Amino acid sequence: MQQATSQVPALRVFFSDLNGISSFFSRSPKRTTILDQVVARRLPRASATRWNFNSRVVNKVYENLDDLIECFEAISTDGSFDCTTVREASGYLRMLQDDDFKFFLHLFHQIMPHVDIMYQQLQKKDIDAVFIKRALQSFTSSVQAIRDQSSSPEQQQVAAGTTGKRRALGEQDKQRLSKEVCDTILGHANERFSFTSHLVSATLLQGDLFEQYCHVFPDEALNTTAKAYPMLNKAKLKTELSLIYESPDFKGCSGALALYQVLQRNNLHETLSETVALLNILIITPMTTAEAERCFSTLKRIKTFLRNSMGQDRLNALAMLSMERELVRNMPDFNERVIDHFAALKERRAKFQYK
């Protein structure tokens, strides 16, 4: 989303103005007070490193557009504010009433929910290539549907917020921009995952396609898989996959991990050795960098400047407890066992006497 929107100058201006609204109120408690009185909602701030934070800003401004206009009107007419505040409030008031701003706000209010779903799916720990490919297909289909809807006259009127001959030429530009935005997002989404050949091989193990593959075998995907992973025996893998597609026991598997568990549970890992080898490759291949980002975020929270003298062993232990806190919470009597272990230690007092 960052790369896609940076290529369209109008979108850079839109998100810059949009993020300026939350900054306007956060700089002054007096402005925040009138925001609470009129809008009764706080506006979240966007983040440069997490694009999904922009979704919350888009939704809040879209849902409270009329209240924000009333809020900026109150600030502009209130004589207790200084000239700088009145000038900025008047500028934001004209921006919120602008049809072009409303058009982009409506467009991204449609796109952002699909971005949030994709973001949440990519953040999961137990994901595989089959899951990622299905999520990517769902995202591209949703954005494509928004692109197709933007060409309808009814959608243009809703996005513009106005009708009439005065906006006839502008409607063509907005239709072109909406298609350009969706095409850019779709292009970058496909390019982002284009180098991952394991996504192509994941289609071989997608359970909802087994019925189709039973009649027409996916030779193209098999050739791509064999080229990407030359250690696999192509002929044997095709034979094993043909047996899996014909068996009704495997059609309920929702992904590579589920299929792998079924093979292990039925002691078929030696019989279908090439399929198991392909599953091992897909399961251990990291899908995203979310796990590494969580580790760095955890270390940043634990080792602050106040704890800069913390030893490596203690840091590793605290980081592990923080990252696996769900596992720790599910352990029965974990806190009591730690206290009992600490109390059982004998010499816990440090000796500072020099000998």
Instruction: Dump pLDDT digits (tens) for 47-73.
Output: 665 666 788 888 889 999 999 999 999
- 3-class state of residue 65 by DSSP: helix
Whether residue 143 is contained in a domain is answered as: no
Q: pLDDT class for 166, splitting at 50, 70, 90? A: very low
Whether residue 1 is contained in a domain is answered as: yes
Same domain for 243 and 311?
A: no
Same domain for 226 and 260?
A: yes
Predicted pLDDT of residue 201:
73
What is the DSSP secondary structure assignment for residue 149, as one 8-state letter? H
Same domain for 315 and 265?
A: no
Lowest-confidence region among 45-54, 95-104, 148-157, 221-230: 148-157
Q: Is the pLDDT of residue 339 over 70?
A: yes
Q: Give CA separation, 130 vs 45, 69, 227, 260, 290, in Å.
A: 34, 46, 19, 12, 18
pTM: 0.63
More confident residue, 349 or 172: 172
User: How far apart (Å, rounded) are the C-alpha atoms in residues 220 and 224?
Assistant: 6
User: How far apart (Å, rounded) are the C-alpha atoms in residues 145 and 29?
Assistant: 43
Predicted pLDDT of residue 269:
82
Lowest-confidence region among 32-46, 106-120, 285-299, 326-340: 285-299
Same domain for 4 and 77?
A: yes
What is the DSSP secondary structure assignment for residue 316, as one 8-state letter? H
Residues 118 and 135: beta-carbon distance below 8 Å: yes
Predicted pLDDT of residue 71:
92
Whether residue 146 is contained in a domain is answered as: no
Predicted pLDDT of residue 289:
62
User: How far apart (Å, rounded) are the C-alpha atoms in residues 79 and 105?
Assistant: 31
Pick the closest to residue 63 from 113, 11, 126, 23 (CA basis). Answer: 113
Predicted pLDDT of residue 292:
67
Predicted pLDDT of residue 120:
82
The two three-digit tokens of residue 335, written as one number:
């806190």
The two three-digit tokens of residue 179, written as one number:
């298609």
The residue from 64, 97, 130 where one domain ends is 97
Q: pLDDT class for 198, splitting at 50, 70, 90? A: low
The residue from 63, 97, 131 where one domain ends is 97
Mean pLDDT of 216-242: 88
Q: Give CA separation, 288 vs 136, 190, 345, in Å.
A: 13, 15, 42
Same domain for 278 and 315?
A: no
What 306-309 contacts at long range (C-beta under 8 Å, 24+ apart), as own/partner pairs, is: none
Instruction: Give residue-wise pLDDT tens across range 109-158.
Output: 999 999 888 888 877 766 766 677 778 888 999 999 998 887 655 555 54
Residues 58 and 109: beta-carbon distance below 8 Å: yes
Q: Round the average pLDDT of the chain to a whole number and report it.
A: 80
Q: Is the pLDDT of residue 258 over 50?
A: yes
Instruction: Give residue-wise pLDDT tens across range 171-192.
Output: 778 888 888 888 888 888 888 7
Which residues have a Cβ under 8 Å from the Cβ of 257 and sit 6 or more positions away?
A: 126, 128, 283
Pick the closest to residue 263 from 239, 279, 245 (CA basis). Answer: 279
What is the DSSP secondary structure assignment for residue 206, as one 8-state letter? -
Q: pLDDT class for 91, splitting at 50, 70, 90? A: very high
Domain span at residue 234 reads 197-284
- 3-class state of residue 164 by DSSP: coil
Mean pLDDT of 245-265: 81
Predicted pLDDT of residue 165:
35
What is the secondary structure of 14-54 as a DSSP string? HHHHHHHHHHHHHT-HHHHHHHHHHT--PPPPP-SS-TTHH
User: How far apart (Å, rounded) are the C-alpha atoms in residues 59 and 64?
Assistant: 8
Residues 90 and 82: beta-carbon distance below 8 Å: no
Q: Is the pLDDT of residue 80 over 80?
A: yes
Whether residue 185 is contained in a domain is answered as: no
Whether residue 52 is contained in a domain is answered as: yes
Same domain for 26 and 62?
A: yes
Whether residue 90 is contained in a domain is answered as: yes
User: How far apart (Å, rounded) are the C-alpha atoms in residues 185 and 233?
Assistant: 38
Residues 245 and 210: beta-carbon distance below 8 Å: yes
Total domains present in the chain: 3
Q: Is the pLDDT of residue 161 over 60?
A: no
Which residues have a Cβ under 8 Å from the Cβ of 111 and sit 6 or more positions away?
A: 143, 146, 181, 182, 185
Which amino acid would we find at residue 243?
Answer: L
Q: Is the pLDDT of residue 162 over 80?
A: no
The tally of CA atoms less than 13 A away on the side-chain side of residue 268 is 18
Q: Is the pLDDT of residue 2 over 70?
A: yes
Whether residue 109 is contained in a domain is answered as: no
Predicted pLDDT of residue 259:
84
User: How far apart (Å, rounded) are the C-alpha atoms in residues 172 and 167?
Assistant: 9
Same domain for 322 and 272?
A: no
Same domain for 5 and 86?
A: yes
Predicted pLDDT of residue 287:
63
More confident residue, 200 or 239: 239
Whether residue 25 is contained in a domain is answered as: yes
Residue spans of beta strands (DSSP E) within 105-251: none
- Cβ-based neighbour number of residue 325 at 10 Å: 11
Mean pLDDT of 299-306: 82
